[in-house]
Amino acid sequence: MKRLGNNRNLTGLLFVSPWIIGFLVFTAFPLLYSLFLSFQEVKITTDGIKTNFVSFGNYEYAFSVDGTFVDRVLKYLEEMVISVPIIIVFSLIIALLLNQKIKFRGLFRTIFFLPVIIASGPVIKELIDQGITTIPSIEQYAIYQALSDNPDGFFNGILLYLIKNLIVILWYSGVQILIFLAALQKMDKQIFEAAKIDGASNWEFFWKITLPSLTPMIIVNLIYTIVTYSVFSLNPIIEHIQKNMFKVNTGYGYASALSWIYFLIIAAALAIAVGVMTVKRKKKYT
Amino acid sequence: MQTKTQQVNKYYLKTKRMFLGMQGTDGLLYKLLIYGLLVGIGFVYLYPLLYMGVYSFKSLDDLLNPLVNWIPTQFYTGNYEQANKVLNFFSTLMETLYVTVLPALAQTAVAAVVGYGLARFDFRGKKIMFVLVLATFIIPPQVTLIPRYIFFNELNILGSLSAFLLPATFGQGLNSAIFILIFYQFFRAVPKALEEAAQLDGAGHFRIFFTIALPMALPAIIISFLFSFVWYWNETYLAAIYFGDALTTLPLQLQKFVATYQQMFPAEMGVSGGNQLNEGIKMAGTVLSILPLLIVYFITQRWFVEGVDRSGITGE
């Protein structure tokens, strides 16, 4: 009996072994190696790569000398803080709408998922260049003009950003809508009926039952949104890292440091987002 | 008097019921609101596509004419002819398929094997491995990019398909974690009875996997393949770095559209119009570069939508 157990153990490992090898070779080792590189000055010579230990030099350079990087990180964070909640709320609303008894649900679902298929970096860039990603003919409205006359204010900046990129922001929400919709459709109809009998209105039902039971899905969507938003190829930080990778005076070492800083920022953003959601959830139940 | 107010009340209630419904969810007003919102938002979603489609058929006269907005005066295909030349459409399409289909196949195959291993067997360190699989999803590709670049350079596979294929074959391709998760959920949901019967008949684990488990997993295979196909297709950042100039894809060609165009049709000084790159040609190029994906999507959209359900993130 014990032998059979061992056997199963081994077969299981055999099945997952491609992944383990791949993880070690293509993920774990590169991860450590780029961490190592981030503390080095890397020179590419004819006999290979020469490294020179510079301690935290690259990291100091990123925050003190390289103004572009800090600027872009701040802008990225600002845009993410604005966009991510909008994407989540918007996809939740769409999912709620699609969850009603409506005709053509399939058609609408197809439309809302379409951007996931075609939204590659160059296509989005082309659309932004053509100015198609704004609300149609928004320039004619007085609000827009009032806003663009003084774009320095905090709220004005946010609103302008929203107006200019509304369609792109909405285009990010295809997968999230489907995740919410799938969760909504799996909800037990009996709870709804029971709440109805107890006299709960739709409004109360949404806030007290639907939303709390969706919290895990909100967390999943938060993670998904932040990750896809951060690794999208139009992201200016990614562009900056790539540029530094092939620059002579900065090179691989500095680019590695930048990518590690970026990685840590993403991880921190994820931790904060998930943390906020779980704290909120606990409060509700106590 | 009393009856009259009652009468009015009755009508009031009746109309109220018609517009607001009995439960608040079946009234006319409510329906109108929902359909209105859906159609409105749907339009906003499709607006860029409509715009692209319309502009790609506009001749230069139509583009310059402010009166021509949504309907071009003539069905002008010249933009497509030029965009086709700039993109070098058919040979680029073949190349794109080459660099997307093969990694997608490899990724799907390995995700099936690994997902099966995770779903059906217990081994030491399985929980740790599970956490690591999920962790690979949040590691941005930029962090591992440089070491991989150096590594591939030493293996001399930069600029060849292997730069995509090799990580995919070992479960480290684009979003591999999601595909492993899809197969894991799928195999866990399939009852074990059939496999146990086969085992009693003396079939080995690998035979069971290939002859029983894999054929059952057809939906998961299709879903994984389609998603990884689309994601590899749209990946331009890694493709640009790993492939350099050796291989190209439609999105990459679109990225270089303006430069290529100016090289092919050098602007003649003093002559306006004629050879100049205009919106119409650019839009035609964009449409051409997404057209294959659109066709694939409209044929297979059911699988895409189901894919999200199958990943099991909604919990069973």
Which architecture characterizes domain B86-310 according to CATH? Orthogonal Bundle (1.10)
Interface membership of B113 toward A (CB under 8 Å): yes
Question: What is the CA angle B255-B258-B264, rounded to 5?
Answer: 120
Cβ pairs bridging A and B (under 8 Å): 254
Cβ–Cβ under 8 Å, residues B105 and B225: yes
For chain A, say whether B304 makes contact (Cβ under 8 Å): yes
Residues of B in contact with A216 (CB under 8 A): 315
Contact B272, A81 (CB under 8 A): no
pLDDT for the residue B58? 80
Q: What are the tens digits of pLDDT across the range B273-309?
A: 556 677 788 888 888 888 998 898 888 877 777 766 6
- Residues from chain B that touch A259, judged by Cβ atoms under 8 A, are 140, 142-143, 145-146
User: B170 vs A26: CB contact, 8 Å cut-off?
Assistant: yes
3-state secondary structure of A52: strand
Chain B residues in contact with A14 (beta carbon < 8 A): 117
Say yes or no: A40 contacts chain B, CB-CB below 8 A. Answer: no
Where does chain B have alpha helices with state H?
2-20, 28-56, 60-64, 78-87, 89-120, 126-138, 141-155, 162-169, 176-189, 193-200, 205-208, 214-216, 218-234, 237-243, 250-255, 257-264, 279-310
Other Cβ atoms within 10 Å of A131 Cβ, number:
11
Q: Which of B117, B142, B315 sits opposite A15 (nearest CB)?
A: B117
Judged by CB atoms closer than 8 Å, whether chains meet at A12 and B42 is answered as no
Cβ contact B214:B108 at 8 Å: no
Q: Which chain B residue has the Cα nearest residue A197?
A: B23
Q: Could you give the ipTM of this predicted complex?
A: 0.82
Going by the DSSP 8-state scheme, the letter that residue A139 receives in this structure is: G
Q: Give the closest of B205, B279, B293 to A11, CB-based.
A: B205
pTM (predicted TM-score): 0.84
Within chain B, which residues score under 70 in pLDDT?
1-2, 16-26, 66-68, 267-276, 307-316
For residue B238, the tally of other CB atoms under 10 A from its CB is 20
What is the number of helices (H) and of strands (E) in chain A? 14, 2
Tens-level pLDDT at each residue, chain A (286 residues): 445 556 778 888 888 999 999 999 999 999 999 888 888 887 776 666 777 777 788 888 888 888 888 888 988 888 888 889 889 998 998 888 888 877 888 888 888 888 888 877 788 888 877 777 666 666 666 666 666 666 666 677 777 777 777 778 888 888 888 888 888 887 777 888 888 888 888 788 888 888 888 888 888 889 989 988 888 877 888 888 888 887 777 778 888 888 999 999 999 999 998 888 888 666 655 4
d(CA B313, CA B302): 18
Q: Burial level of B147, CB count in 10 A (0-12/13-18/19+)? A: buried
Asked if the Cβ–Cβ distance from A233 to B309 is below 8 Å, we say no
- The predicted-structure confidence for B164-178, as pLDDT tens digits, reads as follows 898 999 988 888 888
Check if the beta carbon of residue B308 is closer than 8 Å to that of residue A182. Answer: yes
Give first-to-last CA distance, chain A, whole Å.
48
Percent helix, percent strand, percent coil in chain A, to nearest 5: 80, 5, 15
The domains of chain B are located at 2-80, 86-310
Residue A46, judged by CB atoms within 10 A of its CB (0-12, 13-18, 19+), counts as exposed
Residue A250: name the closest of A65, A31, A71, A75 by CA.
A65
pLDDT given at position B270:
46
**Nearest 5°: CA angle at B261, between B256 and B262?**
105
> What tokens does B200 get?
């009693």
Q: Residue A145: its pLDDT value, please? A: 67
